[in-house]
Structure 1
Amino acid sequence: MKYLFSLFIFTFLTISCQKENVDLIVINSNTYTVNNSFDKAEAFAIKDGKFVAIGSSKEIEKKYQSENTVDANKQTIVPGLIDAHCHFYRMGLQQQKVDVSGTKSYEEVLQKLVAFQKEKNVAFITGRGWDQNDWDIKEFPTKEKLDALFPNIPVAITRVDGHALLVNQAALDYSEITKPIKVEGGEFITKKGKLTGVLIDNAMDFIKFPSTSKQEAIQGLLDAQKISFSYGLTTVDDAGLNQKTIELIDSLHQTNDLKMRVYAMVSGDKQAQIDYYINKGIIKTERLNVRSFKVYGDGALGSRGAAMRKPYSDRDNHFGALIYSPKRYQEIAKQIAASEYQMNTHAIGDSANTWLTKTYKEVLKNKTNRRWRIEHAQIISSEDFKNFDNILPSVQPTHATSDMYWAEDRVGAERIKGAYAFKDLLKQYGKIALGTDFPVEKVNPFLTFYAAVVRKDLDNYPKNGFQMENSLTREETLKGMTIWAAYSNFEEHEKGSIEVGKFADFVILNQDIMKVEGSKIPKTEAVATYLNGEKVF
């Protein structure tokens, strides 16, 4: 009997002390969980791609064991970062085209085009990134020098914001354009009655481009994934995809070639595409979420295409323009409101924001938890901020620090007070989703963090920060890049924080972004990126 009792005690103690096997354990870290209490933790355990326990290193090691244990050596860990508004696919394709971003003159643009063509020798030169506001002569370029350099090869390069296009005569000939065309929601810029080669917004649709091959599209997605993982991004909200690209993303997910989680905003520029996805219903996998439409409200401030209530301060009698008629926005909104889909509308100018928030309010009356978003929400009239009480603002902080040098010249001293007003928008809705709009801005999300908190450029300008009353705290900013961004995608229960049951997406950083001196925030780097507990960078 004594022997049996001893055997029972031994067996009980053996079972009690047995540790649970998991796929990965991370210990000795400085982890910001971004849970409801914004708690910190030292360690966590992962199994089957999800967090199964969070706590101290002692607690985790006592209960769990794994063949794969990472000692973080006190490094900072945050949830996998979410870019709430970007152009992932477009950025990937751009890796195969000429990049003229950061150029300081039209001459530098031309030099890059010549060097690109000498190396690539393509039949049609395409690219992106020029911004006349960064040049000494802050005027739109004209095509004469392009024509001289490339008399027979079509050239079409997009402005940094995607709302203006510079083409040469060969591209106009290729597109069978012989004279200016009157177009609603766009403009063919002319000089003395002749085409200058600059097209704004809807006018850009008249330029014909060679089609992208399937292999080029696949390579673009894989290139974009590699770049994004290197910056700690584990989810991207791609703003404006067509059916063909969404289906390609889904197929690459199924073969596991593409691992990046994608919140796909379906491009709302074609009625047939809206009809197709509304009839099909929400498409949801662990890596793909199709439940929203991206609609363009107006153009960009930099190209004076943003729709303003009063004329631009630096161009007489020019108001910019809505992309569609007011009636069309009502039609689109009513159709989407009758479905389960979300409407996410690009609105830069105060007129666009007035009209779109009014339209949202009308069609969403008595509807709850729709989380419809205004993308950019860049210039808001003082009386319109109240409309964001149930409309989610999705903003890109680096737009503020990119535009601050010339924005007031565009809109004047009074209207600039309601521009890039992140804190004011946050106060209305209670949450704010943060993104980059890459490749309009750089992919780097740590520049987003810096611009939101410090509101300066990398040269420490302006000395006291740009309109600091609308800066965000570090906690608000991290939430905007994680849990609030997840909320904006209806995904807050599966990602956006380090909590039991959620996808094991996290990033190890080289410094504590929550405490490091403000000027050092841009030096933050992703040491390692994990998705589903798998190291992807």
Structure 2
Amino acid sequence: MKFHKLQSFSIILCFVLMTSCSNLNKESATLLIHGGPIYTVDTIQPMVEAVAVSGNQIVFAGNLADAEKFKTETTKIIDLKGKTMTPGLIEGHGHFMGVGYNELNLDLLNTTSYQEIVDAVAAAVQEAEPGEWITGRGWHQSKWDELPEDAVKGFQTHYKLSEVSPDNPVYLRHASGHAGFANAKAMEVSGLRLLPKEGIDQMSVEGGEVIRDGLGRPTGIFNERAMTLITQHIPETTPEKNKKAFELAVAACHRLGITSFHDAGIGRETIELYDEMKANGNLKLRMYGMVTGWDKELIEEWYEKGPHIDPDHIFTIRSIKLNCDGALGSRGAWLLEEYTDRPGHYGHETLPMEFVEETSFNALRNGFQVCSHAIGDRANREILDRYETAFKELPDLKEDHRFRIEHAQHLHPDDIPRFAELGVIPAMQAVHLSSDRPWAIFRLGLMRIQHGAYVWQTLLQSGVPIVNGTDAPVEPLNPIPSLYASVTRKTLKGLPEGGYEPSQKMTREQALKSYTLDAAYGAFEENIKGSIELGKLADFTIYNQDLMTVPEDELLKTEVEMTIFNGEVVYTKTK
């Protein structure tokens, strides 16, 4: 009897001690933030005065008096001093290593003429070894002040580029990544003839196009899958250069307030690199990787392994990326009706729809999400059709599938409600409107632009979330221009007055949610991040001004002052 009483007393004592320790831990914050507007993206309490963090988790969000109960002698205090904080921003569709490589190679994003490209390459030739490849990315002929006089089908020709680099092969990717521009030396190294030969056509590529002049000569422009005629001959990169590009990309994310990144299409080597970087503690952001659909063997391997949902929430793989058409800028987007500025041309189906359907079935069976690139209205319709077929035939597996369409830039009006009906998430990069809308009207015409292009508000009102982003390095990684585009529908020069198709503007609340909680939802991670709530991960972005209330014409002046990832400050802007 005494033994049982003693045993009961011991159990009660242990319980009291454990409870006391638990309460002590609960009330001990490693970080306390207050002193400015804090937008939580939580509908229950949209704004709070203070946030307390223990380790990498939020332990309190609410008024300052209650938050200070979590403070101890070792708690780090961040006084916002009037600055604004939101959940950490999530890049919902980008190409992480491309961001890093854009800093290592020629960055042509801001070029406004063909001559600027020629000058940039001429300067690079002076630094290059004989025969060394010169590569870069970012040119966009529709954004130039004017096209050269010898343009063919709306693109420049290689002759001036070849003149300044006769001995160094040059390959420059279009800003969209869906076309490339090669000089004569690059075509020669790739074994392509500059003069056509009767009866033999080296340059006929299914799902792509080599732009040729009236005499049949290649102009240097390789569209969609025709790019491989050149790219397969470019020397592979080195592990050292890959690590440098990785480091530059991480630093860029921190500098811009990005704490999570949806990497849209990664291969075996990149997956291995991320695994290595995580093991070394160098992957200091949350990576959501989409396995590239170009590597069927790799996809099959992942079907066998199943999704990898990282318990540390650092590197998760549970989706497959399919590239199904091209870009509007290169006239590769797959359209239901011909291009207004190129009659008879409908763009390119860059991946067989049979493979999209097959992948949809396999993904459902093996627990993977499918994320399909589609810009043109035909590509979007064809993909929705394939998704729907899989959902109907595998009804028990379709629950919470969260299949996505990446870009969903131009939709036929009949297909807009299908996103909500099928539960398909549109991952749309708002900044594309700022960059593309001034010239996109020439591709599509007024009717298609007004009723089906960049229809954010219509999609939101239909009941689907929108995952926002930049598609970096197609556009600069900075989220602020994309948030500005979301709420103004203007170019980054502030035009036109009132914005393009203003009824499709997002509210500021919707725009912030598209970069936080809705983006987290697009990766099945809304329960761990995307809003400032008890128990969620301590990822925050701090800005120099209140981006939710600042006048519209001041919004682009918003800058990131500090980035907090996993409860630690990883970036502070220097004065």
Q: Same fold (TM over 0.5)?
A: yes
TM range (shorter): over 0.9
Alpha-carbon distance, 1:470 to partner:
0.7
Q: String of CA shifts for 1:81-101, please: whole Å, max 9, x gaps.
A: 001001111111121101111
Q: String of CA shifts for 1:172-193, please: whole Å, max 9, x gaps.
A: 1222223542111100111121
Alignment RMSD, CA only?
A: 1.7
Q: Which amino acid aligns with 1:198?
A: I
Distance (whole Å) between structure 2 residues aligned to residue 398 and residue 233 of structure 1: 16
1:304 corresponds to which of 331, 334, 353: 331
SS in 2 for 1:247: helix
The 3 A distance-change label for structure 1 pair 360 and 19 is closer
Q: String of CA shifts for 1:185-231, please: whole Å, max 9, x gaps.
A: 10011112111111001001121211010111111011001011111
- Asked if structure 2 preserves the Cα contact closer than 8 Å seen for 1:83 and 1:434, the reply is yes
Q: Which amino acid aligns with 2:445?
A: G
Distance (whole Å) between structure 2 residues aligned to residue 18 and residue 329 of structure 1: 50
Alpha-carbon distance, 1:521 to partner:
0.9
Alpha-carbon distance, 1:63 to partner:
3.7
User: Once structures 1 and 2 are overlaid, which stretch shifts more, 203-212 or 527-536?
Assistant: 203-212
Distance (whole Å) between structure 2 residues aligned to residue 18 and residue 217 of structure 1: 41
The 3 A distance-change label for structure 1 pair 63 and 534 is closer
**Partner residue in 2 for 1:275:** 300
2:472 corresponds to which of 420, 426, 438: 438
**Partner residue in 1 for 2:16:** none
**Partner residue in 1 for 2:98:** 90
The yes-or-no answer on 1:51 pairing with 2:58 is yes
Distance (whole Å) between structure 2 residues aligned to residue 399 and residue 69 of structure 1: 39
**Partner residue in 1 for 2:8:** none
Q: Which amino acid aligns with 2:437?
A: M
SS in 1 for 2:406: strand
Q: String of CA shifts for 1:233-268, please: whole Å, max 9, x gaps.
A: 000111111021012112101111221211111111
User: Runs (4+) of structure 1 moved beyond 3 Å?
Assistant: 14-20, 119-122
1:288 corresponds to which of 315, 319, 322: 315
The yes-or-no answer on 1:426 pairing with 2:460 is yes
**Partner residue in 2 for 1:220:** 245
SS in 2 for 1:424: helix
Alpha-carbon distance, 1:127 to partner:
0.3
Distance (whole Å) between structure 1 residues aligned to residue 25 and residue 411 of structure 2: 60
Distance (whole Å) between structure 2 residues aligned to residue 44 and residue 104 of structure 1: 45
TM-score of the superposed pair, with normalisation by structure 1: 0.95
- Asked if structure 2 preserves the Cα contact closer than 8 Å seen for 1:401 and 1:466, the reply is no
Give the number of aligned pairs.
524
Q: Which amino acid aligns with 2:234?
A: F
Q: How does 1:35-114 map to 2 (within 5 A)?
A: 35-37=42-44, 39-65=46-72, 66-114=74-122
Unpaired segments of 5 or more residues in structure 1? 1-13
SS in 1 for 2:104: coil
- Asked if structure 1 preserves the Cα contact closer than 8 Å seen for 2:470 and 2:482, the reply is yes
Unpaired segments of 5 or more residues in structure 2? 1-19, 148-153, 194-200
Alpha-carbon distance, 1:517 to partner:
0.4
Alpha-carbon distance, 1:102 to partner:
1.6
- Asked if structure 1 preserves the Cα contact closer than 8 Å seen for 2:265 and 2:321, the reply is yes
Distance (whole Å) between structure 2 residues aligned to residue 419 and residue 392 of structure 1: 16
Distance (whole Å) between structure 2 residues aligned to residue 533 and residue 328 of structure 1: 42
- Asked if structure 1 preserves the Cα contact closer than 8 Å seen for 2:109 and 2:475, the reply is no
Distance (whole Å) between structure 2 residues aligned to residue 209 and residue 268 of structure 1: 21
**Partner residue in 1 for 2:175:** 160
SS in 2 for 1:496: coil
1:175 corresponds to which of 180, 190, 193: 190
Alpha-carbon distance, 1:333 to partner:
2.0
**Partner residue in 1 for 2:404:** 373
SS in 2 for 1:489: coil
Q: String of CA shifts for 1:447-480, please: whole Å, max 9, x gaps.
A: 1110000111232200120111111000111110
- Asked if structure 2 preserves the Cα contact closer than 8 Å seen for 1:509 and 1:527, the reply is yes
Alpha-carbon distance, 1:281 to partner:
1.0
The 3 A distance-change label for structure 1 pair 336 and 20 is closer
Q: String of CA shifts for 1:98-145, please: whole Å, max 9, x gaps.
A: 111121111111001112232454711000011110224343111111
Q: Which amino acid aligns with 1:219?
A: K
The 3 A distance-change label for structure 1 pair 239 and 17 is closer
Q: Which amino acid aligns with 2:134?
A: I
1:450 corresponds to which of 484, 490, 498: 484
SS in 2 for 1:321: coil
- Asked if structure 2 preserves the Cα contact closer than 8 Å seen for 1:130 and 1:160, the reply is yes
Alpha-carbon distance, 1:23 to partner:
1.2
1:131 corresponds to which of 140, 143, 152: 140
Distance (whole Å) between structure 2 residues aligned to residue 536 and residue 279 of structure 1: 37
Identity %: 37
Q: Which amino acid aligns with 1:444?
A: N
The yes-or-no answer on 1:386 pairing with 2:414 is no
- Asked if structure 1 preserves the Cα contact closer than 8 Å seen for 2:336 and 2:346, the reply is yes
The yes-or-no answer on 1:189 pairing with 2:214 is no
**Partner residue in 2 for 1:4:** none
The 3 A distance-change label for structure 1 pair 330 and 67 is closer
**Partner residue in 2 for 1:520:** 554
SS in 1 for 2:67: helix
**Partner residue in 1 for 2:222:** 199
User: Once structures 1 and 2 are overlaid, which stretch shifts more, 120-129 or 388-397?
Assistant: 120-129
**Partner residue in 2 for 1:415:** 448
Distance (whole Å) between structure 2 residues aligned to residue 36 and residue 501 of structure 1: 16
Q: String of CA shifts for 1:309-337, please: whole Å, max 9, x gaps.
A: 11101111000011122322222222222
- Asked if structure 2 preserves the Cα contact closer than 8 Å seen for 1:349 and 1:378, the reply is yes
- Asked if structure 2 preserves the Cα contact closer than 8 Å seen for 1:87 and 1:238, the reply is yes
Distance (whole Å) between structure 2 residues aligned to residue 231 and residue 100 of structure 1: 20
Distance (whole Å) between structure 2 residues aligned to residue 368 and residue 23 of structure 1: 39
Q: Which amino acid aligns with 2:570?
A: V
Distance (whole Å) between structure 1 residues aligned to residue 251 and residue 412 of structure 2: 40
Q: Which amino acid aligns with 1:161?
A: S
- Asked if structure 1 preserves the Cα contact closer than 8 Å seen for 2:291 and 2:321, the reply is yes
Distance (whole Å) between structure 2 residues aligned to residue 456 and residue 462 of structure 1: 6
- Asked if structure 2 preserves the Cα contact closer than 8 Å seen for 1:35 and 1:498, the reply is yes
